[in-house]
Amino acid sequence: MGASQKELKTFYRAFWDEMESVRRTGKGSAESVRFVNANTSGTTSKTNIQIRFNIMLKRFLEKNPDLQLLDSRRLFDVYEKTVIYRKNEAKQKDGKARCESCKKEGAWSEYEADHIKSYSTGGQTSISNGQVLCIECNRKKGASQ
């Protein structure tokens, strides 16, 4: 388990220990009491789920101020895909796009725009971080991360 996973686990346990104490004693910050109330009455209501999520997220971010959030935009848009594909074509001697991994030549529909530095490790969804991969290589890359 990596350091960040341990930190998350530690936060999660401490948070729930605190909420359980508030539930048992009825004493705690107004925010904690609000969380406990949202957790003990109507736990599946959309409003209560949102209340609990917002409080837990706020606490987590307060305890981890240096946390770097991922790019909020996960997928490349059509414009970015087109530019990435055209850049790939331009760098080929014959002007035909090829998969950056297996070098297979194919049509536009056989390719996907892929993050060079993976999104899950903080890679931005940007043209400079994009590459052309065939569908098969993109699936293999995703499965191995």
10-residue mean pLDDT series, the chain (145 residues): 77 95 95 93 85 93 77 85 92 89 88 90 91 92 66
pLDDT value of residue 35: 95
Give the residue from 31, 63, 95 where a domain finishes: 63
Residue 127 lies in a domain: yes
Residues 19/12, Cβ–Cβ less than 8 Å: no
| Type of residue numbered 89 | E
Residue 24 lies in a domain: yes
Which residues constitute the domain of residue 56? 3-63
Residues 123/115, Cβ–Cβ less than 8 Å: yes
Name, in order, each residue with C-beta under 8 angstroms of 106's C-beta and a sequence gap of 6 or more: 97, 98, 99, 134
Does one domain contain both 42 and 83? Answer: no
Name, in order, each residue with C-beta under 8 angstroms of 113's C-beta and a sequence gap of 6 or more: 76, 80, 81, 84, 85, 130, 131, 132
Does one domain contain both 44 and 87? Answer: no
Does one domain contain both 82 and 138? Answer: yes
15 alpha carbon, distance to own chain's centre: 22
Overall domain count for the chain: 2
Long-range CB pairs of 47-52 (<8 Å, 24+ gap) are none
Does one domain contain both 39 and 11? Answer: yes
Does one domain contain both 96 and 139? Answer: yes
pLDDT value of residue 8: 87
Residue 59 lies in a domain: yes
Residue 71 lies in a domain: no
Name, in order, each residue with C-beta under 8 angstroms of 89's C-beta and a sequence gap of 6 or more: 95, 96, 97
Does one domain contain both 129 and 90? Answer: yes
pLDDT value of residue 45: 86
